[in-house]
A and B are shown apart, each in its own frame.
Chain A
Amino acid sequence: MVSIIGFLFLCLSIITNLFVVFANIINFFKLSFNKIIFISRFATIFILLSFLTLIFAYIISDFSNYNVFQNSHSSKPILYKISGAWGNHEGSMLMWITIMSIYSFIFSFVKKIDESLKFKTIFFQSILFILFSFYLVFVSNPFLANNVNVSDGLGLNPVLQDPALAIHPPALYLGYVGYSLIFSFAIAGIVEKKINNEWFRVLKNWSLFCWSMLTLGIGLGCYWAYYELGWGGWWFWDPVENVSLMPWIAGLALVHSLFISKGEQVLTKWIVFLSILCFSLSIFGTFLVRSGILTSVHSFASDPSRGLFILLIFFLITGFGLTIFLLKMPEDKKSIKLLLLNKTSSLIINNIIMIIACLTILLGTIYPIIIEVLTDTRISVGGPYFNSTVLPIMLPGFLLMSIAPSLSWQTNKLKNYKYYSLVLISLSVLIVFISIFTYLNPWLFIGLFLGSWIILASLIAIIFIEKKSFKLKFLKNINAYIAHIGVGILIIGITFSSLLKEENDFSLNVGEEISFANSIILFEEITVESKNNFQKLRGKFIIKKNDINFAQIEAGKNYYHVSKTITTEAGIYHDWFKDIYILLGGQENEKWSIKIYNNPLVSLIWIGIFIMVISGLLGVTKK
């Protein structure tokens, strides 16, 4: 019953959007723009109700719904019942179109933009909505009825039962899907020839918001991989990670380009192109993951028809976007002022670097597909390729970003260059000294230097701003510097955690002690405990330093009865400087196999990402 209501709301929403589209092409009711926009808001209300209905079906464990039966279980905690609604393919696609609709809903309230521009944007947004909702209705309907009468469901994949993962998909989708609005708005701008200062301002705010959300989503994904997957790391150059990184980099380039334009109408072609690219890459990523071409934790059981359908959507949207772009190419009103070293030229160099990085990742991701089509051999491109191509490409960009915000728009001069040189020289001397007295490999040297230089340069810039205060308005003004400090922290965290990682395998009896990373680890006991929907096996470890017990870690496995799966629960001792990360393996002749990692400065990664997200959001609210 609940499913029927949900499906009904979905249909109502599609009909409303169809109406909006047709009212634009042949306006036989002679409705004004405002009336049509008003009607379009109902589509959002309907789809929201539809999505809430699905969540409700999950909460009450309505197993007459096939989707609920497949992905939920009555003994699950309530949080995971709710997140189960988007922890599967069909539900997450419903969330995709719901978010898409919410974006146009909020956009319809934006003031101070040309009415026809707003109207065209909502028109394109409705078309996108219809395309995706057809996909939902025909090949992945979350409201199918279950044709057998069952007493309980099959359960949510246990690795997905994690708080970080409950919010990872919504955040990621706020980014991915948000780019649909950027796309519609950019296309509306060139079709209506309304690319003016207002257009730039609105585009900047929305793209910054999408980018921040995408950053948050990717960050949460990394956090989850680190704590839940138990692989001892947080980034694996997995194809699924790569496809989320591509729109992220394109979005970053877009935000920076909009910053160069500063409301003056320069680089228009490039900006429109990036707007199209961001959304295309988002759909491209969805396609690769959902078609089952890439196998990973994200590939839900899928059939080939879905892949074809998303490929068609990808083809239509991107093809349309790029064709319109070619036909109605906007012209710049002003020319940009390029000097040897001014803000504009450094931002453009940064843009070029980002696009090259993006293309490199794209190449690495689709290369196996191309090779398999051409030669029928299966190869995989992994970490070594990306580490040795993408990282060196990014390096000059990182160097530039340290001083770029302080460069002048009009001249080649760097304000307060004396201070910068002083700090740069003392930092270099300091790091050279550190590298003489300790063992530093070249990458560690580069990472440490870049990270701290970016942080220091941004701090200098903040110090020299007149009228400092701790008011929100001031923070908004310096948000670019704050974001760059976040990147600096992130770089240091990444460098240390990946290069100074220690990893060791042990085979231990209960009660045995080992020494690891300047401390003693005691394997105290093994416990088994039954919980509501799973069974817990835990090994208790005590970390000692100078005979003082300073931490206790529980590492183990969970066994989920319903889905008959075992998840690894890494035990992590966490402080600001390092993580001790323990994985409990299997047992053989009384001895347990145990893997211990020492990951230094991982917390800096999360802090850096958090700062980037916050400063991005600060920028959205900036006037």
Chain B
Amino acid sequence: MKRFIFFLPLIIFIIISIFLLIYLLQKNDPKNPPSALLNKEIPKFEVKNLFDDKEVITQENLKDNFILLNFFASWCAPCKVEHKMLFKIKNDLNNLLLVGINYKDKVNDAKKYLQNEGNPYSFVGLDRRGMVGLEFGVFGLPETFIINKEGFIIYKHLGPITEKIFNEEIKPLVQ
């Protein structure tokens, strides 16, 4: 029995190591932390239209459609990289509605950005203080959520959407 006590630290240590190893191998990609919102209803929010500040949308307006909610900003270089991909998504998936949320940006910069790069979004919301981003738990830009017809978040991606991610992860979800 006394001997066992001395083995205890080693045993605890090995158990902890095994758990850490499994955890590390299982998923944990630190670049893509899982969202607590996954498979939950979208949080309540309200954003003004970038081009017309009298028009407002809320979570209610996002129901009954497949929505791709994309957080972007004019100051975000990876967003620019992703931008072309958004047009492709729009063309390939007709049943998907693209909603952009302009995150912590200046109104003029955002307008200029969409003029130069083109506007793939059906609606662009203005989130100047990042409050909507806070509701969605946005880690960094660009960040993309896919919302199903019932208003549940079914997918989240942090970082630019690439061809591969689009084909392998987003397409099967929406089709």
Residues in B whose Cβ lies below 8 Å from that of A314: 17
CB closest chain-B residue, reference A369? B23
Kindly identify, within residues 247 to 303 of chain A, every residue whose CB is under 8 Å from any CB belonging to chain B.
269, 273, 277, 280, 287, 291-293, 295, 299, 301-303
- A372 with B23, Cβ < 8 A, contacts A318-B13, A322-B13, A564-B75 known: yes
Complex-state Cα separation, A566 to B133, whole angstroms: 15
Contact status A304-B33, CB under 8 Å: no
Contact status B19-A319, CB under 8 Å: no
- Least CB distance from B168 to A in Å reads 19
Contact of B30 among A299, A326, A369 (CB under 8 A): A299
Kindly identify, within residues 304 to 359 of chain A, every residue whose CB is under 8 Å from any CB belonging to chain B.
304, 307-308, 311, 314-315, 318-319, 322-323, 325-326, 329
Complex-state Cα separation, A273 to B20, whole angstroms: 22
Complex-state Cα separation, A308 to B7, whole angstroms: 25
Residues in A whose Cβ lies below 8 Å from that of B59: none
- Least CB distance from A168 to B in Å reads 23
A586 within 8 A of B: yes
A78 within 8 A of B: no
Complex-state Cα separation, A373 to B93, whole angstroms: 36
- A293 with B23, Cβ < 8 A, contacts A301-B31, A304-B28, A378-B34 known: yes
A432 within 8 A of B: no
- Least CB distance from A80 to B in Å reads 22
B21 within 8 A of A: yes
Contact of B9 among A292, A299, A322 (CB under 8 A): A322
Kindly identify, within residues 103 to 119 of chain B, every residue whose CB is under 8 Å from any CB belonging to chain A.
104
Contact of B17 among A301, A307, A311 (CB under 8 A): A311
Complex-state Cα separation, A369 to B24, whole angstroms: 10
- Least CB distance from B130 to A in Å reads 9
B36 within 8 A of A: yes
- Against A, the Cβ 8 Å flags (1 = close, 0 = not) of B11-43 are 001101101111111101111011010000000
A366 within 8 A of B: yes
- A366 with B19, Cβ < 8 A, contacts A293-B24, A308-B24, A586-B129 known: yes
Contact of A373 among B7, B14, B22 (CB under 8 A): B22
Residues in B whose Cβ lies below 8 Å from that of A323: 10
A434 within 8 A of B: no
Complex-state Cα separation, A326 to B11, whole angstroms: 12
A528 within 8 A of B: no
Contact of A304 among B6, B9, B24, B128 (CB under 8 A): B24
CB closest chain-B residue, reference A276? B9
Contact status B17-A315, CB under 8 Å: yes
- Least CB distance from B131 to A in Å reads 9
A370 within 8 A of B: yes
Complex-state Cα separation, A271 to B25, whole angstroms: 35
Residues in A whose Cβ lies below 8 Å from that of B21: 308, 311
Contact status A370-B19, CB under 8 Å: yes
Complex-state Cα separation, A189 to B76, whole angstroms: 56
Complex-state Cα separation, A273 to B9, whole angstroms: 9
Total number of B residues with any Cβ neighbor in A under 8 Å: 28
Q: Is the interface of B mostly helix, strand, loop or mixed?
A: helix
- Least CB distance from A197 to B in Å reads 25
Residues in B whose Cβ lies below 8 Å from that of A273: 9
Contact status A287-B10, CB under 8 Å: no
- A378 with B36, Cβ < 8 A, contacts A311-B24, A366-B16 known: yes
- A302 with B9, Cβ < 8 A, contacts A307-B24, A315-B17, A366-B19 known: no
Complex-state Cα separation, A302 to B9, whole angstroms: 30
Complex-state Cα separation, A304 to B23, whole angstroms: 11
Contact status B30-A373, CB under 8 Å: no
Kindly identify, within residues 72 to 96 of chain B, every residue whose CB is under 8 Å from any CB belonging to chain A.
75-76
- Least CB distance from A589 to B in Å reads 13
Q: Is the interface of A mostly helix, strand, loop or mixed?
A: helix
Contact of B6 among A318, A319, A329 (CB under 8 A): A329
Contact status A311-B20, CB under 8 Å: yes
Contact status A369-B13, CB under 8 Å: no
CB closest chain-A residue, reference B131? A586
Contact status B19-A369, CB under 8 Å: yes
Residues in A whose Cβ lies below 8 Å from that of B26: 373
CB closest chain-A residue, reference B20? A311
CB closest chain-B residue, reference A300? B30
- Against A, the Cβ 8 Å flags (1 = close, 0 = not) of B50-68 are 0000000000000000000
Most buried by A among B17, B22, B24: B24
Contact status B29-A322, CB under 8 Å: no
Complex-state Cα separation, A315 to B75, whole angstroms: 43
CB closest chain-A residue, reference B9? A322
Kindly identify, within residues 356 to 384 of chain A, every residue whose CB is under 8 Å from any CB belonging to chain B.
366, 369-370, 372-373, 378
Residues in B whose Cβ lies below 8 Å from that of A301: 30-31
Contact status A326-B24, CB under 8 Å: no
- Least CB distance from A269 to B in Å reads 8
Contact status A304-B13, CB under 8 Å: no
Residues in A whose Cβ lies below 8 Å from that of B36: 378
CB closest chain-B residue, reference A306? B30
Residues in B whose Cβ lies below 8 Å from that of A295: 30, 33
Contact status B6-A326, CB under 8 Å: yes
CB closest chain-B residue, reference A370? B19
Residues in A whose Cβ lies below 8 Å from that of B16: 366
Complex-state Cα separation, A366 to B18, whole angstroms: 12
Most buried by A among B23, B31, B34: B23
- Against B, the Cβ 8 Å flags (1 = close, 0 = not) of A570-597 are 0000000000000000100000000000
CB closest chain-A residue, reference B29? A304
CB closest chain-A residue, reference B30? A292
- A326 with B19, Cβ < 8 A, contacts A292-B30, A295-B30, A304-B29 known: no
Residues in A whose Cβ lies below 8 Å from that of B10: 319, 322-323, 326
Q: Which 10 A-B pairs have the closest CB atoms?
A: A292-B30, A322-B10, A586-B129, A564-B75, A307-B24, A373-B22, A369-B23, A315-B17, A373-B23, A370-B19
Instruction: Give chain A's interface residues, CB within 8 Å of chain B.
Output: 269, 273, 277, 280, 287, 291-293, 295, 299, 301-304, 307-308, 311, 314-315, 318-319, 322-323, 325-326, 329, 366, 369-370, 372-373, 378, 564, 566, 586
For this complex, 13 residue pairs linking A to B, each with C-beta atoms less than 8 Å apart, are A273-B9, A291-B24, A293-B23, A303-B31, A304-B30, A311-B24, A319-B10, A323-B10, A369-B20, A369-B23, A373-B19, A373-B26, A378-B36
Instruction: Give chain B's interface residues, CB within 8 Å of chain A.
Output: 6-7, 9-10, 13-14, 16-17, 19-26, 28-31, 33-34, 36, 75-76, 104, 128-129
Taking A311-B21, A329-B6 as given, write out 13 further A-B residue pairs in contact, using a Cβ cutoff of 8 Å, ordered by the A residue number. Answer: A280-B13, A291-B28, A291-B30, A295-B30, A304-B28, A311-B20, A318-B13, A319-B14, A322-B9, A366-B16, A378-B36, A564-B75, A586-B128
